Structure 1
Amino acid sequence: MNIDTNSIWQPPAQEPDVSEGREGRTPADLNRWRELTHSTRELAQRSGLSKAEVARRAGMPDGTFSQWYSGKYVGRLDRTNLTMAQWLESAASAATIERAIPAGPGFVMTKTAAEIFAALELAQIAPDMVIITQAAGMGKSHACKQYAATRPHAFRVTMRPQTKTCFAMLVELGRALSVMENNPAKLDSAIGARLQRNGRQTLLIVDEAQNLEDRAIDQLRYFLDEYGCGIALTGNTSIYGRFKDRSSGPDYTQIKRRFGKRLYKMQPYPEDIAMIIDAWCIQDTDQRTLLTGIGRKPGHLGQIDKTLRIAHLLAAGEQADLALKHIQAAYQNRQWEE
């Protein structure tokens, strides 16, 4: 919803009365109020903020802020002035940091990401059940997010320890799929109907699937069998090892035989690292060599992104261009190396 900041942020119609000389309401407080209301109005108009949002961010009740800004506040002006001054200072500091840290290149279709897309397409079109396992920082979640955002009828939901049981997982799926069903006994059917509504080309991407119990995974297998919904389980090595190394357990055989593809990768391709460095527009040979080494260590591509964000912040603090020393300091400050 667009806010017409010019209409809602008119200059105050009156000024606080400080004629009685009460504590906290001196001429100096009035001058400070004039400065602060002007700064508040400029920032709010520039940022497209409503008065309610400014009050919320400043940690001030709506009514108090409204009276303070309009010049009608009858309490201690010095204290409300201080609250607004602290918020304005904090906002200015945050803006400085945001300008110093680049947004980053966004999603990059690396070779590994292309393999993930291929596995997800198989699961969606066949339909089938796939497992995608990668080391942390290789872009698995980013690729899954990008796929779900750019493919019709593809849904992504992230599991956590609190959603490990079958019912807790169904509640999370229902929330992600906007399924409203108050009867717990009918929740799985309601979710199945929602998935089936799109025909046989629906995909459910379940990220961090290592958090799920076997019964919960078997419920996902039921969605594939009964409703023709493709299922992609993504997570760390434990989800892969659970079905690779075990030969018994609840519903083990039924689940294992449903997997049509297993994508398992613990190291990024060299060209993946190069593509991420290219996306950050790093041309210096020494910088590229250091970043390539970082990309081969735990955290991989994610390490490159985080290190470069901090390095850019360090360079901005010196009002200098990004240099090798900034990348070295950023990586050491993240305590991955002594």
Structure 2
Amino acid sequence: MNVTRGKETFTEEEMQELRDRLSAYKAEKGLTWPQVGDKVGVNRVTIQLFASNKYGADNRDLAFKVNRFFLAEDAAAQMALQAPLVPDFTWTPTAKAMTRQLQWAHRGKISVITGDPGVGKTATFEQYLQDTPNAFMVTADKSTTGVTSLLLAMLNAAGNVSRLGGRAYTLKTLLLERLQGLNPLIIIDEAQHLEDDAVEMARAIHDALKCGLVLAGNTEIMRRVSRGARTPAFAQLHSRVSWPQHYKRPTQTDIDIILRAWGVTRADEIAFLREIGALPGGLRSITMTLEMATLGATATEEPRVLGHLRETYEQRVAPLLAAT
């Protein structure tokens, strides 16, 4: 089919090709027509009528939307083909240590996990969620600072999205009903964004369910929990935290395991990437640099070398330094 980008008019033959491709896409992906309509951005009934050539009104606007959808799909597929193969989750010593802490918390304990940027904290949490039943994670931000918004986020993470609002007491009751008997682990990442009352609500959920709770983020959440030893505000939480730990920048062993997963074997590349890993951003910075450098080398059909890594790192860092 030869339909150009930005095309707004279609022959009957071209529209029939779009209909055929739409039906083939639905079958290949195992979707319903309403799901296809949602992806294309067309009314759920209308998309089926268009695909079966039974839409009585003007088909040109629908053909434009369907064609635009497939252009976007083709572009995404092409980008996926060109993108470097990123290794799956890699079990570094730090990731294993964090996982042990998550497993401990899942036994009904409270843990606090903090770490420098790029130490692999969030990736480890996501892997634990994938591997472990009844583990749920909320990532706090400026929209989830208060008690009500945190409870809504917890309900959403636990799979209850039927309510869009409500009083804190009602939401707490719904959450307790949803998680009762599941022996859950609740991970709250970026917990430093939570107001004190929201942190106390998380502690109250733990007490009510006897569930695991992990408060994670930067050193601010650790400081707030530590204050409980000296102030009434977090006294109950402080007394319940059984394993607080801060993970500093990645170890050289962490870095070398990541480099082996990426297939980095040249001594000059290893030395340079070790330097990057020791800086703020750690493993995240290494992964971004390798991914961008590999993509750049692929685009020019060259093997990736140290020059690609240096150039990529400068492209990433120089604008940020210039802005400070």
TM-score range, shorter chain: 0.7 to 0.9
Task: Say if 2:132 is the partner of 1:151.
Answer: yes
Taking the TM superposition and a 5 Å limit, the aligned residue runs for 1:285-304 are 285-304=267-286
Q: Does the residue aligned with 2:293 lie in a helix, a strand or coil?
A: helix
Percentage of matched positions with identical amino acids? 26
Which residue matches 1:141?
A: 122
In the alignment, the residues of structure 2 paired with residue 307 and residue 272 of structure 1 have an alpha-carbon distance, to the nearest angstrom, of 16
- Three-state SS of the structure 2 residue aligned to 1:257 is helix
Instruction: Give TM-score, length-normalised by structure 1.
Output: 0.76
Moved more, 173-182 or 303-312: 173-182
Pair 99,219 (structure 1): closer, same or farther in 2 beyond 3 Å: same
Cα contact 1:100–1:312 (8 A) shared by 2:
no
Q: Give the one of 191, 212, 220 matched to 2:175.
A: 191
Q: Deviations over 1:257-285 (max 9, x none)?
A: 22111110221111111111111112222
Note closer, same or farther for the CA distance 1:192–1:251 as it changes in structure 2 (3 Å cut).
farther
Specify the alignment match of 1:14 in structure 2: none
Q: Contact 2:113 / 2:245 at 8 angstroms: preserved in 1?
A: yes
Letter in 2 for 1:138: V
Matched residue, 2:209? 227
Please show how residues 63-142 of structure 1 align to structure 2 within 5 Å.
Answer: 63=46, 67=50, 70=53, 75=58, 86-125=68-107, 127-142=108-123
Check the 8 A contact 2:117/2:249 in 1, yes or no. Answer: no
In the alignment, residue 194 of structure 2 is paired with which amino acid?
Answer: L
Q: Matched residue pairs, number?
A: 310
* CA distance in structure 2 between the aligned counterparts of 1:109 and 1:250, rounded to whole angstroms: 39
Cα shift at 1:327: 2.2
Secondary structure, in 3 states, of the residue corresponding to 1:334? helix
Partner of residue 262, structure 1: 244
Aligned to 2:142: 161
- Most deviating of 238-247 and 294-303: 238-247
Cα distance in 2, alignment partners of residues 197 and 162 from structure 1: 29
Q: Counterpart of 1:16?
A: none
Deviation at 1:93, TM superposition (A): 2.7
CA 1:229–1:87 in structure 2 vs 1: closer, same or farther (change >3 Å)?
closer
Instruction: Measure how far apart 1:242 and its partner are.
Output: 2.1
For residues 181-225 of structure 1, give each alpha carbon's deviation from its aligned partner in whole angstroms, at most 9, with x where no partner exists.
866424324433444413xx5322111111111222222222333
Deviation at 1:86, TM superposition (A): 4.8
Residues 9-33 of structure 1 deviation map (CA, whole Å, 9 limit, x = unaligned): xxxxxxxxxxxxxxx98xx945765
Counterpart in 2 of 1:308? 290
Gapped regions of structure 1 (runs ≥ 5): 1-23
Q: 1:287 to 1:131 in 2, by over 3 A?
A: same
Work out the CA distance in 1 between the residues paired with 2:99 and 2:106.
10
Quote the Cα distance in structure 2 between the aligned partners of 1:94 and 1:54.
Answer: 17
Residue matched to 1:17? none
What TM-score do you get using the length of structure 2 for normalisation?
0.79
Residues 33 and 316 (structure 1 numbering): CA distance in 2 closer, same or farther, change over 3 Å? farther
C-alpha distance in 2, partners of 1:128/1:47?
Answer: 42
Residues 313 and 202 (structure 1), Cα distance of their counterparts in 2 relative to 1, 3 Å cut = same
RMSD, aligned α-carbons: 3.5
| Larger deviation, residues 84-93 vs 100-109 | 84-93
Letter in structure 1 aligned against 2:205: F
Matches of 1:193 and 1:54, distance apart in 2: 34
Match among 137, 147, 154 for residue 173 of structure 1? 154
Letter in 2 for 1:264: H
